[in-house]
A and B are shown apart, each in its own frame.
Chain A
Amino acid sequence: MRISAKIYFVTGLFVVLVLISISYTSTILGINKVGENKQTYTLSATFNNIGSLKDGASVRIGGVQIGRVSKISLNNEYQPEVFIKIAKQYDKIPSSSIISIKTNGILGDKYLDIQLGFDDGSGDFLVNGSQFTTTNGAIILEDLIGKFLYSQ
């Protein structure tokens, strides 16, 4: 049976479409950040407990998002260390700033909140690779309830 070239072409197109959708799906299922190639710089912070903070959680100053969590790991002293990527345009964060883990509502996602420190005019800003000195870990609701119960 003879088949016209058009049908070969269209069937090939079908298979290509399938490959595109497989790659799209696996990108979404496998990789956290898609389509973000803005200029960023990386900071890190060590917490005593990060709760349920996830890769890709947002970093905010006063509620406005400026970056994302890029990696979470344990450092040499087995303390959780969080690496965050912040957009290049926000490069004037004083090094005395405080970073803390907060929650959207009671059940919502965890995010990082930066409270700006005092800028004394010496130009002491956080640069690529530097670390936050003051951190506030996640508030674990169960611990709070436990403290409240057993302090009676």
Chain B
Amino acid sequence: MLNAIINQITKLGEKVINFVYAFIKNIGESFLLLINFILRKPELSKTLNIGLLQLYHLGFKSLLIICLSALFIGVVIAIQGYQLLTIFNSSSALGSMVSVAIVRELAPVVSALLYAGRSGSALTAEIALMKSTEQLSSLDMMSINSIHRVIGPRFWASFFSLPLLNFIFIAVSIYGGVLVGITWKGIDSGSFYSNIAATVGLTDLLNSTLKSFIFSFFIAWIAVYRGYSSMPTASGISKATTLTVVQSSISILLIDLLLTIYLYGS
């Protein structure tokens, strides 16, 4: 009886130690992978075309989902805000409410979540399948460095797509707010726009871009690492894709919390 309990506790301890070990090993591996292609002279002549192609696949093809969700979110926030603000007879503050919510929080976070779901998972799946069909190994065998040739351009393309999509998200969702506020509810356009200009400035736009760059760095990093370190089996690919989406979503929300405290907390 006592032995059985001790056995169970031993197994538990072993699991915890294994988990912590794997966690630290993951961090070390992914960091080394990152350093491997960040700290080197870029060979633009060889990798620019690959990066452009990835910018098309990861960035441009996300345009539809980003635009649609931006429009819906802008419209929904404007409708809810209008209901609330008419109670205080200050519906012309709708513009500033919508644009503060969009520019400071919703645009970087929602576009990052959508991007992680659409493009991050695709990136992981592509790299993981390349690995499981031994395409990466064959590149290495032909003395072409697969990390520099395959992983690097994909990382950079992914890193630069999200901030671009963030700008589009902001513009489209503010336009959604304008549609509801001015076109539908008939708020006076002058006070609508001047309220926006009074509350949201260039600093907010820059902060939003900063957030977006940091999110996209982590999404690209996680996606690339999960693909590169996946088990070369069918279930390994699916596990890697799931882990990409889960881990990047959680890290986006956590980093957003920290950044918001840092940028707006005081």
Binding site for B on A (CB under 8 A): 1-3, 7-8, 10-11, 13-15, 17-18, 20-22, 24-26, 28-34, 54-58, 65, 68, 104-109
Contacts of B59 in A (CB 8 A): 11, 14
Instruction: Please determine whether B89 and A3 come into contact, CB atoms closer than 8 angstroms.
Output: no
Q: A1 to nearest B CB, angstroms?
A: 5
Instruction: Please determine whether A58 and B55 come into contact, CB atoms closer than 8 angstroms.
Output: no
Given A32-B194, A54-B191, A57-B190, A108 and B175 contact (CB-CB distance below 8 Å): no
Instruction: Please determine whether A29 and B99 come into contact, CB atoms closer than 8 angstroms.
Output: yes
| CB of B171 closer than 8 Å to a CB of A | yes
Contacts of A14 in B (CB 8 A): 55-56, 59-60, 63, 164
* 21 A-B contacts (beta carbon < 8 Å): A7-B52, A7-B53, A11-B55, A13-B60, A15-B164, A18-B168, A20-B171, A21-B170, A22-B167, A29-B99, A29-B201, A32-B190, A54-B195, A54-B198, A56-B191, A56-B193, A104-B90, A104-B92, A105-B88, A105-B89, A106-B89
Contacts of A26 in B (CB 8 A): 202, 205
Instruction: Please determine whether B193 and A32 come into contact, CB atoms closer than 8 angstroms.
Output: yes
Instruction: Please determine whether B193 and A25 come into contact, CB atoms closer than 8 angstroms.
Output: no
Contacts of B202 in A (CB 8 A): 26, 29-30
Within 8 A of A (CB), among B108-123: none
Given A104-B89, A107-B89, A28 and B174 contact (CB-CB distance below 8 Å): yes
Q: B209 to nearest A CB, angstroms?
A: 10
With both beta carbons as reference points, the residue of chain A lying nearest to B55 in the complex is identified as A11
Q: A84 to nearest B CB, angstroms?
A: 11
Contacts of B196 in A (CB 8 A): 28-29
